[in-house]
Structure 1
């Protein structure tokens, strides 16, 4: 097993992080989408998007919807490209696969994962888990001379949702996992609406506005002062930034205007004022847009409160940030200021930031794939042929395994957490109560060139 190459696939809702464990530090970040460009009238499948030069009015077909993989035709068309000899350069029939799945993934969807891996691509073996489950195997909490903590709390703010995930002894404490229905997609859509109402109509320019969000937006620790500064002098203040929109006819990309940069008459300028900080503010104040949910700070406190009293301090002292939204400038400082009043006075709060929050789960997966113990975690093709998805259910422990434990939830008499929104008081019926219909046919509606 040690000589078998392991394909690492962090299959996110926005991007796919792909590489091979024995290929050094090489990693490819590929859009997890089928993208149609109205400019050059070309359809790009995943990795082909690198060849696109006109990013105006792009139409996206995403395999993921509300955090779950539902369009298997589109996903297979993308996987066909990345598992090819031109991209992966590894024969799947002679390799193992480590793939990530959404938190609280539904049983019917998990079975389709198994079918695609073993029946469509015929991998030798594979391991499936959520991104946070990989973090204990990585370097996020590593400090020279100090062993990795046994208790940690991961804040994973990605494309669809923001999850708060406590981990104890390398295993996720599922009864205490919390979810906020705010992710990168919602923030980009909110920015599109604000800009379209105030300046230019950008409702069809998702790619451009996503770049504006990543280039200009930040998290403020003094919201009231910043909002007052932008109101007092909307056209000239320290917060205002000018973003020069791209000109694809001249192959010019969008950029933030430098203080000494001269503009041309043909330049279209987007003025980013309070939008810079009011959009990321939704992560900490979802009720600003009518979502009846707590922000990240309160959600972390609610999650830790469901854990045993005698070890709660360890979770406060080991908070790790992963996911694209945690890359906003000022995110960790604001989170620390939000958590200090919520934590017990005798608890130390320590936040660990990743050098690259988007790739942190992938890097951790590569570390796991290189360990000798990885061979004991996987399900082999022979096991699948003998028992089907039952073999995967036995080996891959997830939130359903926690529900079946006879000892009940891990808490201190403060009530059981379940897969529900952070503002709900009663647990919802388990998703497994209703069968999920999924499509397992090969691609028909989506065809690669």
Structure 2
């Protein structure tokens, strides 16, 4: 899913500079699908697998459908929205409203992971400023780290101050908590003219054979760090339910560790008995060059 020139340069670097004996080039979606088969309690094999992998990554979100174990290239969708864009947007909001944190990507990323959530009904959640009770439920104070006594920031608990907490810098947060993850569903909010994840999944489905639609919707696997936002799965299921036929059931699957799920798939591939068949060796490279790998 990268530019061919970048893939070729990577291959050349591995063989020419690092002198590797062989390599296997794949994608996170492939590895996640392989691990999904390995984890399956049913008698599912890679040759019979029908599923949709939603990889909500750091830079992009990829939706990759698999029908009978093979990627449906026409159905692959990419959204230019991921964890990095959410962190950058949160940086801008905090810097504009509270405190300049444009150079504190690591800290803001921690804030995002600690306090952000996906609103099931965004319009209703935005009424937080019309009701004092709702505002108290959402508004928090986040204590920033000073990297001497406090290594990692945390949410201040009202009425239970920690030692020296009054002298620490804090950032008040309210609607930022749910407006930032909302970009995964509405990238147009910050000028990215693309559809959100539910619409991309529905569009991906149209490019797949209709006979596989039922199984594809029953096996939607979500991986990537952003899948850990509270409320992400119910919101995605609700929006997706409104876009697909009523007679088809929608089932979302999020593993316990969505961040490393693809890596676990790579471990399964690397330890499989027939892994040697997949490896592109140095002899292959010297005979066929960088183009031989794509042909294989």
The question of whether the paired residues in 2 share the 8 Å contact of 1:140 and 1:354 is answered with no
Q: Does residue 130 in structure 1 map to residue 31 in structure 2?
A: no
Identify the structure with the greater strand proportion.
Answer: 1
The question of whether the paired residues in 2 share the 8 Å contact of 1:313 and 1:348 is answered with yes
Give the structure-1-normalised TM-score.
Answer: 0.62
> CA 1:331–1:254 in structure 2 vs 1: closer, same or farther (change >3 Å)?
same
Q: Does residue 171 in structure 1 map to residue 70 in structure 2?
A: yes
Where in structure 2 are the equivalents of 1:258-337 lying within 5 Å? 258-262=157-161, 264-337=165-238
> CA 1:260–1:159 in structure 2 vs 1: closer, same or farther (change >3 Å)?
same
Alignment partner of 1:154: what SS? Answer: strand
CA RMSD of aligned residues (A): 1.9
Shift of 1:302: 0.5
Query: Residue 117 of structure 2: which of 203, 218, 222 is its match?
Result: 218
Give the whole-Å Cα distance in 2 for the aligned partners of 1:132 and 1:203: 32
Shift of 1:387: 2.1
> CA 1:367–1:281 in structure 2 vs 1: closer, same or farther (change >3 Å)?
same
> CA 1:268–1:231 in structure 2 vs 1: closer, same or farther (change >3 Å)?
farther
> CA 1:252–1:113 in structure 2 vs 1: closer, same or farther (change >3 Å)?
closer
Give the whole-Å Cα distance in 2 for the aligned partners of 1:178 and 1:195: 31
Shift of 1:252: 3.5
Instruction: Find the counterpart in structure 2 of residue 106 from structure 1.
Output: 3
Give the whole-Å Cα distance in 1 for the aligned partners of 2:138 and 2:198: 25
Instruction: Find the counterpart in structure 2 of residue 158 from structure 1.
Output: 57
> CA 1:356–1:337 in structure 2 vs 1: closer, same or farther (change >3 Å)?
same
Shift of 1:236: 5.1
Shift of 1:249: 3.9
Give the whole-Å Cα distance in 2 for the aligned partners of 1:178 and 1:314: 19
Alignment partner of 1:209: what SS? Answer: helix
Stretches of structure 1 lacking an aligned partner (at least 5 in a row):
1-102, 396-449
Shift of 1:251: 4.7
Q: Does residue 390 in structure 1 map to residue 291 in structure 2?
A: yes
Alignment partner of 1:372: what SS? Answer: coil
Deviation string for 1:271-299 (max 9, x for gaps)? 12110000000100112222221111111
Give the whole-Å Cα distance in 2 for the aligned partners of 1:302 and 1:384: 38
Identify the structure with the greater helix proportion.
Answer: 2
Instruction: Find the counterpart in structure 2 of residue 17 from structure 1.
Output: none
The question of whether the paired residues in 2 share the 8 Å contact of 1:245 and 1:253 is answered with yes
Query: Residue 117 of structure 1: which of 7, 11, 14 is its match?
Result: 14
Give the whole-Å Cα distance in 1 for the aligned partners of 2:8 and 2:269: 23
Q: Does residue 244 in structure 1 map to residue 143 in structure 2?
A: yes
> CA 1:311–1:114 in structure 2 vs 1: closer, same or farther (change >3 Å)?
same
Query: Residue 127 of structure 2: which of 212, 225, 228 is its match?
Result: 228
Alignment partner of 1:237: what SS? Answer: helix
Give the whole-Å Cα distance in 1 for the aligned partners of 2:134 and 2:78: 38
Alignment partner of 2:138: what SS? Answer: coil
> CA 1:145–1:316 in structure 2 vs 1: closer, same or farther (change >3 Å)?
closer
The question of whether the paired residues in 1 share the 8 Å contact of 2:119 and 2:178 is answered with yes
Give the whole-Å Cα distance in 1 for the aligned partners of 2:151 and 2:275: 46
The question of whether the paired residues in 1 share the 8 Å contact of 2:143 and 2:153 is answered with yes
